[in-house]
Amino acid sequence: MNSFKAFALSSVLVASAFVAPKALADGNCTNQYGATVECPPNRIVVNKTVKHPTSGVFFENLTSRDTAYAPGAEVEYDVAVTNTSNDNFPIVTVIDVFPGVVTFVAGPGRYETSGNKLTYEISNLGAGQTVHNRVVVKLNDKFTNDLTCEIVNTVTATGPGGQSDQDTASLCVATKVMGVTTLPVAGFEDYAYMLPFLALAVIGFGILAKGYIRP
């Protein structure tokens, strides 16, 4: 029985290692299932979200079930870096790598065209503190598919001693409005409701015609 308990406990510890919590604005963390958990000690946590193109709300990811961006549109991201430890972090380095279908528009730090990435530092990130930065990119205006998803933006935050965390945010681009693109061919039943109006029109023209005939 004792060996079974030891095995069960070790299984829980191993499983928890793969459920990397993400920090929220209040300093708490969430696991991959969305549950609020205690942040691990001596850790730096980065959380990247993308702005919805119509609602303006920031989401972890935008999928094919969400409203897609149009080619050439600007996309805004929020990068939240949290110090979940009890110590002050003098310098935290953030590297934001953009996919090839976007170009950098605005954000803090230094942008490198060669790697299509943005690098900036956060100074004196206090214990339990969260710092937000906004980054804006522009989508290319040439997409061949009607709907292109999994456009992934990756950010990495590295603190003292090399401890780091990474997060991604993805979105979709649509070249046209999804759904019905052609109207169905109309049948007789589609025009049946117009017959009474057509009959009145014929009668009206007949009356007008008689008015112009001299006796």
The single residue listed with the structure tokens 């109207």 is 183
- Whether 181 is covered by a domain: the verdict is no
- Whether 79 is covered by a domain: the verdict is yes
CA gap 61, 168 in Å, rounded: 8
- More confident of the two residues 11 and 135: 135
- Whether 91 is covered by a domain: the verdict is yes
- Whether 182 is covered by a domain: the verdict is no
- Whether 193 is covered by a domain: the verdict is no
- More confident of the two residues 206 and 2: 206
pLDDT in tens, 163-195: 999 999 999 999 975 433 333 333 434 444 455
Give the mean model confidence (pLDDT) for residues 47-65: 95
Give the mean model confidence (pLDDT) for residues 14-27: 47
- Whether 184 is covered by a domain: the verdict is no
- More confident of the two residues 4 and 146: 146
pLDDT band at 210 (very low <50, low <70, confident <90, very high): low
CA gap 44, 84 in Å, rounded: 6
CA gap 56, 67 in Å, rounded: 11
CA gap 157, 78 in Å, rounded: 14
- Whether 189 is covered by a domain: the verdict is no
pLDDT band at 21 (very low <50, low <70, confident <90, very high): low
Cβ count within 10 A of residue 55: 10
- Whether 188 is covered by a domain: the verdict is no
The vertex-46 CA angle with 152 and 97, nearest 5°, equals 35
pLDDT in tens, 106-153: 999 999 999 999 999 999 999 999 999 999 999 999 898 899 998 999
CATH code (residue 73): 2.60.40.740
Q: Which of 41-50, 71-80, 94-103, 203-212 has the lowest mean pLDDT?
A: 203-212
Structural domains counted in the chain: 1
Range of the domain at 114: 2-174
